[in-house]
Amino acid sequence: SAVISQKPSRDICQRGTSLTIQCQVDSQVTMMFWYRQQPGQSLTLIATANQGSEATYESGFVIDKFPISRPNLTFSTLTVSNMSPEDSSIYLCSVASGEGEQFFGPGTRLTVL
């Protein structure tokens, strides 16, 4: 299994500002994913981040709003830009083992006022 850490674990932000979430994995992985989980809801995939290529965004999510970096095989960042209260959610990064399993980080709980 992979050990994944995220920073920050939680934050309270003002409307119109941006927050960058960091995701660190203890081993090299090809595929990393960013999800959003709104209260009481299941997980919604924001984008897939592969090292050395542009992130692939799901329908309803755009790069200007959620820019992603993937500088190496153990690290990725997700920025939530120009935040509004509707962006209040838990943001999760995950990695694929390449053998069918997927592991999640502890999440970043974001509240936008």
Partner 1 sequence: QKEVEQDPGPLSVPEGAIVSLNCTYSNSAFQYFMWYRQYSRKGPELLMYTYSSGNKEDGRFTAQVDKSSKYISLFIRDSQPSDSATYLCAMSASRNNNDMRFGAGTRLTVKP
End-to-end CA gap in the chain: 36
Shortest CB 107 distance to partner 1, Å: 4
Residue 61 or 104 with smaller CB distance to partner 1: 104
Take residue 28 and report the two structure tokens written for it: 């090299």
What minimum distance in Å lies between the beta carbon of 19 and partner 1?
A: 18
Contacts with partner 1 by CB under 8 A lie at: 1, 4, 6, 30-31, 33, 41-43, 45, 48, 92, 96, 98-107, 109
52: region left, alpha or beta (phi > 0 left; psi from -120 to 50 alpha): left
Give the residue with the Cβ less far from partner 1, 27 or 82: 27
Give me the least distance between CB of 9 and partner 1, in Å please. Answer: 10
Q: How far does CA 49 lie from the centroid of its chain?
A: 9
Q: Which of 109, 105, 113, 98 is nearest to 10 (CA)?
A: 109
Give the SS3 label for residue 75.
strand
Q: State the nearest-atom distance from the C-beta of 68 to partner 1, in Å.
A: 15
Nearer to partner 1, 41 or 82 (CB): 41
